[in-house]
Amino acid sequence: MNRLKEDGLMNSFEIRAKDGLARIGKFRTKHGTVTTPLLMPVVHPGKSEIRPRELVDDFKFQMVITNSYIISQREKFRSVAESDGVHALLDFDGPIMTDSGTFQMYFHDLPDHEIDPLQIVRFQRNIGTDIGTILDAFSAPDAGREQVEKDVEVSLERAKISVPEKGEMYLAGTVQGGIYPDLREHSAKVLANLDFDVHPIGGIVPLMEQYRYADAVRAALAAKKHLPPDRPVHLFGCGHPMFLALATALGSDFFDSASYAKFAEDDRMLLTTGTVHLHQLRELPCDCPVCSATTADDLKQMKKPERRLSIMKHNLYVTSAEMRRVRQAILDGKLLDLAAERARAHPSLYEALHILLENVEQIERAHPVGTTPSIFYTGPETVLTVPFYRFHSRLIRSYPFRKSRQLVLVPHIADRPFAETTPTIIEAIRETSPDTTLLAFVTPFGIVPWELEHIHPVQQSIFPQHIDTDTLSIAEARVKEFIQKVDVPEILWFDRSTPTNALASAIEGEISTHHFGSASDVIEQLARQRRQDEQWTLSKLRAVLSYQWGLDVSKLPSDVEIEISKGTGKIRYVRLEDDLLFTMVPMTGLLAPTLSGGALLMKMGLPTRYVIKMHEDAVEFVRKGKSALAKFVIDADEELRAGEEVIVQDPEGNLIAVGRAVLSGTEMLTFQRGVAVNIRHSMKQ
């Protein structure tokens, strides 16, 4: 059982869907299973006006968080909690998380010995909390690096000694490190190797209060790089509805919020567009049950306790609804659109969104291949999101044709198949060869070589005829990168009245460019050489094979037969001597291999990134076509993205099946439960 993972360990967290770093998960506790991302309202053991049961039944929260330090300090709470448990104290049988008093220590500047780090963990365990939290050391946002380093070391030391105390309780190990990404990374690395169940990211509250969202984003992304994918991440104290979409896009699964009550205390109302004071309002810009049943004037005239309760309820409704919207957005693959919309609420949020997008490489690693949402242009962020970034970076990495005599560039907004909008040029290209001529479209998201026009997101994206200048400058950079990559001496530019036509002038300075006003003029300049019709479909297949698996396409047998759909021009099937090798998945434009296709991929030198090795105990199952389970994966590449088409091998490297990865390579090696590869075809015996 060499690399087989320990069997006794149950995963408490299972991931069901992903959108970038964000995920939909199921978290199992002794008091029920919850769906993440979720927000836990903070409840006070004694004075919360809205009880946990009501938070679940009426507001659709799933879990609450309370404070074990406060419980331990008051005899009347402590005695009930110690004898009957925290669930009895809160009169709630759903999942409860407790915090440790870290924040109280910071906020009230309590002396170091005020709370014993081991005792508070034992206390949480003894009162039966579902998730307890270590006593981490909170760093103030303006603490110097030296102080933060000390806090980190104290937190990590306490983390180490706390783990053996957790018993049956899940334990949360908080990542500190202030505004220093390297300290966040260091903390996360150490904590990842300890037996924690949840990882909060701490020290964020004061950043939020000062609108330093960008610092919060940097801190969370740094931590996230090293936290194990099978443990939920909790962004401590970030429950404002305008931040939830962006915070989820950072890969956070848990949130908590005391703001709903704190803000209600002085008549502040939470909205997805920010916070407003009731006195600023003549109308209530909200459709929650509270706001629907009253008016701004009536609310203002209520007695304080009644008004506070109404606003508290409003704040909870708004927060809960946003959490649901966030979950649906993940399922739709549109979380970044939602985050971008929310970012319009405040310049600091907008800045934070751009920090997130600067880290698109990190997000791309986590984002599954093969999801096919339609993408609408919503502003300058659109072309920076994963689908377009991934398309361009894979294109640059793998486009197989270079050093042709000429490159034909056609500005386009990719609104319809190119064969429909520029049929004569596409026809003419069939008579040339990649050795002499390349054809590519200049779109608002960059270059699309005509061979790759069926790959998502090319045909699934909708851009307007008016494009902002940020988008155009990104397109320009991408076009230039492509031109460098293909290394041609001459460009034939087809002038068309579409926004990306403006990019011609940027390119002219770099390379000899000839303008043409009509397709027939372009065609006259093509270096034609009457080719066999199969040759151009072969170019198309080569480009796709290279794009999808980074294959050396010179090794592709030249006698493969390619069946093209008459209506769409898409590849449908690829055969070799009547043996089916690949079918194309219509929505993704990517190929799914058969077993023969898998064997050919191996022969062509398929990069190990796309190869999964199974433990011998699982080989028989997988051969029979059963799913390849994560716990039996003995080798997978950390560069493998979820959703890719892969081949599955036995420990000796023999092909046993082909299928689609459900998890990334890193996740396959981490997860104890769940499917790693859905098998499409196997060596049935």
Q: Which residues bind ligand GUN (CB under 6 A)?
A: 99-100, 102-103, 133, 136, 138, 174, 202-203, 205, 236-237
Alpha-carbon separation of residue 468 from 339, 381, 465, 474, 475 (angstroms): 19, 10, 10, 10, 11
Residue 314 binding partner per list Zn ion, ligand GUN, none, with a CB distance cut-off of 5 to 8 Å that depends on partner kind: Zn ion
* Residue in the structure block whose two tokens are 């010179």: 554
Q: By CB under 5 A, name the one of 81, 235, 291, 564 that touches Zn ion.
A: 291
Q: At 606, list the tokens.
A: 């398929």
> d(Cα 481, Cα 392) in Å, to the nearest integer?
10
DSSP H stretches of helix in 68-141: 68-73, 75-84, 86-89, 102-107, 117-126
Question: Given the complex with ligand GUN, which of 219 and 581 has the nearer CB atom?
Answer: 219
Looking at the DSSP bridge assignments, the partners of residue 657 are 648, 682
Question: Given the complex with Zn ion, which of 302 and 396 has the nearer CB atom?
Answer: 302
| Residue 288 binding Zn ion, by CB under 5 A | yes
Q: Which stretch binds Zn ion (CB under 5 A): 234-242, 284-292, 466-474, 611-619?
A: 284-292
| Residue 314 binding Zn ion, by CB under 5 A | yes
> d(Cα 196, Cα 230) in Å, to the nearest integer?
11
For residue 612, give the H/E element and its range: strand 611-614
> Which amino acid, one-letter code, is at 401?
F
Q: Is 676 in contact with 663 (CB distance < 8 Å)?
A: yes
Q: By CB under 5 A, name the one of 286, 311, 426, 526 that touches Zn ion.
A: 286
| Residue 585 binding Zn ion, by CB under 5 A | no
Could you tell me the smallest distance in angstroms from the CB atom of residue 314 to Zn ion? Answer: 4
For residue 645, give the H/E element and its range: strand 645-649
Could you tell me the smallest distance in angstroms from the CB atom of residue 289 to Zn ion? Answer: 8
The contacts of residue 159 (CB under 8 Å, 6+ apart) are 134, 136, 173, 174, 190, 191, 194, 196
Question: Given the complex with ligand GUN, which of 235 and 343 has the nearer CB atom?
Answer: 235
Residue 100 binding partner per list Zn ion, ligand GUN, none, with a CB distance cut-off of 5 to 8 Å that depends on partner kind: ligand GUN
Could you tell me the smallest distance in angstroms from the CB atom of residue 185 to ligand GUN? Answer: 17
Question: Does the annotation mark 99 as catalytic?
Answer: yes
Looking at the DSSP bridge assignments, the partners of residue 646 are 659
Residue 203 binding partner per list ligand GUN, Zn ion, none, with a CB distance cut-off of 5 to 8 Å that depends on partner kind: ligand GUN
Residue 291 binding partner per list ligand GUN, Zn ion, none, with a CB distance cut-off of 5 to 8 Å that depends on partner kind: Zn ion
The contacts of residue 43 (CB under 8 Å, 6+ apart) are 50, 51, 52, 55, 64, 65, 66, 90
Residue 99 binding partner per list ligand GUN, Zn ion, none, with a CB distance cut-off of 5 to 8 Å that depends on partner kind: ligand GUN
Could you tell me the smallest distance in angstroms from the CB atom of residue 59 to Zn ion? Answer: 12
Q: At 392, list the tokens.
A: 């361009």
Question: Given the complex with Zn ion, which of 4 and 288 has the nearer CB atom?
Answer: 288
Q: What sign for the dihedral angle of Cα 508, 510, 512, 513? A: negative
Could you tell me the smallest distance in angstroms from the CB atom of residue 486 to ligand GUN? Answer: 51
> Which amino acid, one-letter code, is at 218?
R
Parallel, antiparallel, or unpaired: how do β-strands 561-564 and 512-516 relate?
Answer: unpaired
Q: Tell me the residue number closest to ligand GUN, measured at CB.
A: 202
| Residue 321 binding Zn ion, by CB under 5 A | no
Parallel, antiparallel, or unpaired: how do β-strands 64-67 and 96-99 relate?
Answer: parallel
| Residue 296 binding Zn ion, by CB under 5 A | no
Residue 288 binding partner per list ligand GUN, Zn ion, none, with a CB distance cut-off of 5 to 8 Å that depends on partner kind: Zn ion
Question: Given the complex with ligand GUN, which of 59 and 138 has the nearer CB atom?
Answer: 138
Edge-to-edge strands of the sheet including 675-682? 628-629, 675-682, 655-661, 645-649, 611-614, 633-635
Q: Which stretch binds Zn ion (CB under 5 A): 296-304, 306-314, 392-400, 461-469?
A: 306-314
Question: Given the complex with Zn ion, which of 275 and 513 has the nearer CB atom?
Answer: 275
Residues touching Zn ion, count (CB under 5 A): 5
Residue 457 binding partner per list ligand GUN, Zn ion, none, with a CB distance cut-off of 5 to 8 Å that depends on partner kind: none
Catalytic residue among 58, 93, 99, 468: 99
Question: Given the complex with Zn ion, which of 195 and 266 has the nearer CB atom?
Answer: 266
Cα angle for residues 426, 427, 431 (degrees, 5° grid): 110
Could you tell me the smallest distance in angstroms from the CB atom of residue 247 to Zn ion? Answer: 21
Could you tell me the smallest distance in angstroms from the CB atom of residue 95 to ligand GUN? Answer: 18
Question: Given the complex with ligand GUN, which of 253 and 451 has the nearer CB atom?
Answer: 253
Residues found near Zn ion in the complex (CB under 5 A):
286, 288, 290-291, 314
Q: Would you name the residues annotated as active-site residues?
A: 99
